[in-house]
Structure 1
């Protein structure tokens, strides 16, 4: 066998090992999602009733007398597919820690020790921030949006035309999932900008100079990601702008820490004794 063939075989061996490792991590990630999906599908009705609670709060805010809310489905298979969609969404949320852990285990061997130490906090902060955004949607914005829609009803005794809100199960689930996804995505802004600032792709000064554009983009993104009502659009745009300001502050902190570390290295390098010169060595 020639030297070229030996080099090719040696270079292909690490690639095969990486592919085997990737397959193993994918199996664990998909298996974790499948188990979480089955659990969520088994409790799909209970999970849906849990998601309806913000709608109940909205009816109370609207002054409706009944303690119960009514949702409908207009196709025989609609509620079944709604449960599947809910199980997929819930399964992804439950399995995310395992999926993130598998991604980290696959990437970590190729990182230096200081890079792993820098990457791990962001990996932990990402799901925490997503849950904060989801909690904000569940406890505040969904009841507020549903109250806004309920206020458009015409159900009074003096109304000649009675118009009442009777949402479909699929549309209500799509609404709350869209809000949770939108807020969860927006709450990743500090994580993304901090990572980019850490590797030098963004600076605090650059972020601050683009503040006006960021405000415009925040409202445009809110109009795209949320339902077409002003309550949810303003409710998403304002946290986005606040998170952008948090991102600027984090970028400044990262730059300050980097400058301090560079100063400490410079001081340590200046304190080291100089190597002997050639003349001193021969003398």
Structure 2
């Protein structure tokens, strides 16, 4: 007979936890690979979509930017470079498009450690995690013109910035994934709170180092030196962190009320 109660989640041995983690990883990676294969059939359209925000540049020719910079995109050198670029873009599309699947697998792995009456709240936060990831990716894509314009502005007036396609796509794909994952911070914090790993009081006590860490992370994740790009990343994450603290306070109060009732 099982010994756990409604308020005490069942405990699994370590080997079973590892098997569960393996199965969830296989499903998550499988979904990403499946979407990657499909996206690889449209890699030229995906590359064109990522290049579109680049201001004042066009593939194969030079163009004048509105504020006077000059830049142009050049083809890749090397036999394997085009294949590597197409694979990178397809994998990024796979991670973004398959986010509902791998976020669900993450939630499903964490659910056994939660109380039954808390799982319904976690499912709601899973529903928030998917649009948050996609919103972060959208913010990254939207900020690409500002980021690239600032970087190109360092080009001397008498020179033309000849930009390799792979350099720009490295920047674009990295920003899309990093922004998307960073927007998952509140979901992770709330899941840890629901699992009893951290309390709302501890989360709130971290606000100074957390906001400082968010600012440093935004500075490192956005390669341009302009404050606008940093603000576009730091401000939403900071607000989401404060929102997670508020949700955690509410959950801790409900948990304390149930303890007093018993």
TM-score scaled to structure 2, two decimals? 0.74
- Does the C-alpha gap of structure 1 residues 212 and 163 become closer, same or farther in structure 2, counting only changes over 3 Å? same
CA deviation vs aligned residue, 1:236-273 (integer Å, no higher than 9, x gap) = 3333333322222222332344455556xx3xx7xxxx
Q: What is the alpha-carbon distance in structure 2 between the residues aligned to residue 29 and residue 163 of structure 1?
A: 47
- Does the C-alpha gap of structure 1 residues 22 and 256 become closer, same or farther in structure 2, counting only changes over 3 Å? closer
239, 243, 255: which is aligned to 2:240? 243
Q: Which has the higher contact order (CA 8 A, sep 6+)?
A: 2
Verify the 8 A CA contact 1:71 1:166 in the aligned structure 2: yes
Verify the 8 A CA contact 1:71 1:169 in the aligned structure 2: yes
CA deviation vs aligned residue, 1:26-63 (integer Å, no higher than 9, x gap) = 65544433321111111001001111121148999951
- After TM superposition, the structure 1 stretch with the greater mean CA deviation from structure 2, 51-60 or 198-207, is 51-60
Name the residue aligned to 2:184. 188
Verify the 8 A CA contact 1:62 1:151 in the aligned structure 2: no
User: 2:72 aligned with 1:75, yes or no?
Assistant: no
The structure in which a higher percent of residues are helix is: 1
Where in structure 2 are there 5+ consecutive unaligned residues? 1-14
TM-score scaled to structure 1, two decimals? 0.69
Where in structure 1 are there 5+ consecutive unaligned residues? 1-14, 156-161, 270-283
- Does the C-alpha gap of structure 1 residues 71 and 241 become closer, same or farther in structure 2, counting only changes over 3 Å? farther
Q: What is the alpha-carbon distance in structure 1 between the residues aligned to residue 188 and residue 88 of structure 2?
A: 28
125, 143, 146: which is aligned to 1:144? 146
- Does the C-alpha gap of structure 1 residues 106 and 200 become closer, same or farther in structure 2, counting only changes over 3 Å? closer
Verify the 8 A CA contact 1:57 1:143 in the aligned structure 2: no
The structure in which a higher percent of residues are strand is: 2
Verify the 8 A CA contact 2:200 2:245 in the aligned structure 1: yes
Q: What is the alpha-carbon distance in structure 2 between the residues aligned to residue 110 and residue 217 of structure 1?
A: 29
Q: What is the alpha-carbon distance in structure 2 between the residues aligned to residue 257 and residue 23 of structure 1?
A: 34
User: 2:204 aligned with 1:201, yes or no?
Assistant: no
Q: What is the alpha-carbon distance in structure 1 between the residues aligned to residue 120 and residue 33 of structure 2?
A: 30
Name the residue aligned to 2:40. 41
Q: What is the alpha-carbon distance in structure 1 between the residues aligned to residue 45 and residue 249 of structure 2?
A: 45
Give matches, 1:140-179, under 5 Å.
141-155=143-157, 162-179=158-175
Quote the offset at 1:82 in angstroms.
0.6
